[in-house]
Amino acid sequence: MASYPSGSGKPKAKYPFKKRASLQASTAAPEARGGLGAPPLQSARSLPGPAPCLKHFPLDLRTSMDGKCKEIAEELFTRSLAESELRSAPYEFPEESPIEQLEERRQRLERQISQDVK
């Protein structure tokens, strides 16, 4: 499918797919990314001191979130109960076995058919 007939006029490339420039840059020149002896970058979590968001809002997050977590948990619990009730009907003890019900239904249908034929 990828090869062209000789009369189409398009030259057949030896390497039809070009490599991405971002991939070439990361593998070709490690010096451009800080050199071989450069220290690795630190993530924001490892920086010393309190988190910037806690400087402006000195409220205790644990107590403020306790109520929310409880509300969310109750909501999820009630939803899961409602979904499980919708999925499975409550079990009812049958008065007759399913086989007996099928036999009675078959007999009724046979009687109906015989009456319709007459």
- For 51-64, the pLDDT digits (tens) are 665 555 556 666 66
Buried b (16+ CB within 10 A) or exposed e, 54-75: eeeeeeeeeeeeeeeeeeeeee
Whole-angstrom distance, CA of residue 47 vs CA of residue 91: 59
Looking at residue 76, what is its pLDDT?
92
How confident is residue 69, by pLDDT bands cut at 50, 70 and 90?
A: confident
Q: What is the pLDDT of residues 93-108, one digit of tens each?
A: 666 677 888 899 999 9
Q: How far is CA 109 from CA 66, 105, 114, in A?
A: 63, 6, 9
